[in-house]
Amino acid sequence: MAKLQGFEFWRKTLKEARFVVAPMVDQSELAWRLLSRRHGAQLCYTPMLHAQVFVRDANYRRENLYNELCEEDRPLITQVRSHTGELIPSQHVYDLVQCSQAWHYGVFLQDEWELLEKMVRLANEKLSVPITCKIRVFTEIEKTVRYAQMLEKAGCQLLTVHGRTKDQKGAMTGIANWEHIRAVRKAVNIPVFANGNIQHLSDVERCIQETGVQGVMSAEGNLHNPALFEGCSPPVWEMAEEYLEVVQRHPPCTLSYVRAHLFKLWHHTLQIHQDLREELAKVKTLEGLAGVSKQLRLRCQEEIAKGRDVEEKEGGLPFPHWICQPYVRPEPKEPVANGNSHGSEVKKTVCQKRALEDSDGSADTLSKNKQKKRSRNPHKNFCPEQKRESKGSDGNKCVFNLCRGCCKKKAYKEVADCPSHGLRFKTKAEKQKADEDERRQDGRKEDETKEDERKEGLATETERSSSSSSPPLPPPDPNTELQVQSKTPLPL
């Protein structure tokens, strides 16, 4: 059967999906996808899979995809991270991620158009399922449009556009730009999904009207309110208990995933009940997580019984803290007098805070994990600036002037030695090369020996054949034999 393309693929395979749950690292697992589908989501993505690891590691394949086969979980798009042409065999739709990732993946490939064109084209040619892509925008609308058109030409059948640039993340996330999304939608002839600024169902409808996209994707809005696409905001405990019930029905589910989801759902309540926040971070079992969630529910219901739900909302929230609602990051401040933007101010504040904690080094300012490390090693250093100039165990300075972890990565990449940290990558490489040369030389000697033996064997065979070909000796003369016998004296 021919592979469906473009709008035909969106209509028949994706069933004209408009409400989409975004792919989220360690957050869009099977249980969460099923919960979201119960509350209005029409299309989901798997968490991002690493193509190279998936191809070579059977355990990775089993744990991350093959054990999550569920007929309720359809339609489903498999999201893949790669920077080569290596592909994952998949029965689902296939998405090449171009969102915010690190190193030589995701949005960090945004400027390598030739490589991206090759990857999408190869995937489109080799796989039996359609290829979709998810991208971030450039600052310039024209460049973003050319970028999208390049991916469409390479074989992309559906494009998701996150209306933020590569640098808009963390404290600098800011507002997504729907103008870029609208321009891309007008310029391409494939379905387009929009991503960014989706916190309520009203945002979904407004985004579709303003951009003309076929569907809208939500990430953080969905994590804080799985019922977002239903247009309602239920009590947090209802969503938490339903999620835990789905987790128990569809094991296994990694405990860290469940904990992260509960932290998101109970985010606003945990700002008030700090003791239960610490308890939620420490429990080691699914039953323990469910117990903490139950305690949070009881405390919220106690507040409701006392009438606190009608008081002024804590922190300026639109609803009481026990209602599912989005987390809104603080808006960037106005540029300061010297012309620097809020971004540099935020970065400066973060850096100053970190330097203060590390330089002080007291138990009150260190995290619990660092306090444990300090108890094992009183001289443990947590200051990045000082670690950069660390010395090895022998007291000598690192050849790269780095801490051991960074030195190990650099020495491995450059095949170098660092005596102070006990790293011998260059020495081992040279020894391995010498051993290979020696084995190669021994192999040549062995071949020469075999050749000499072969030549000797041929010479022996030649001598034997020549001796067998000489004329036979004449038979003995009987007269001569009689003469010899007559000369022998007879015994007395």
Between the alpha carbon of residue 471 and those of residues 104, 263, 467, 474, the distances in Å are 84, 105, 9, 9
Q: What is the dihedral of CA 43, 48, 53, 55, to 10 degrees?
A: 20
CB 418 within 8 A of CB 393: no
Which residues are within 8 A (CB) of 339 and not within 5 positions of it... i.e. 6 or more apart?
Answer: none
User: Is-catalytic flag, 99?
Assistant: yes
Alpha-carbon gap, residue 43 to 57, rounded angstroms: 28
Cα maximum dimension of the chain: 154
Ramachandran quadrant class, 40 (left: phi over 0; alpha: psi -120 to 50; beta: rest): left
Q: 298: which 2 tokens?
A: 């009881």
Q: 74: which 2 tokens?
A: 């359809």
**Annotated catalytic residue, options 44, 70, 99, 133:** 99
H runs (alpha helix) in 361-403: 368-376, 384-387
> Position 376: which residue type?
R
> Position 484: which residue type?
V
Alpha-carbon gap, residue 458 to 287, rounded angstroms: 82
CB 51 within 8 A of CB 88: yes
CA 458 to chain centre: 63
CB 272 within 8 A of CB 321: yes
Q: Is the peptide bond before 75 cis (omega within 30 degrees of 0)?
A: yes
Between the alpha carbon of residue 460 and those of residues 319, 449, 471, the distances in Å are 103, 17, 20
Helix axes 236-249, 255-265, angle to 10 degrees: 170
Enclosing H/E stretch for 423: strand 423-424
Residues forming the active site: 99
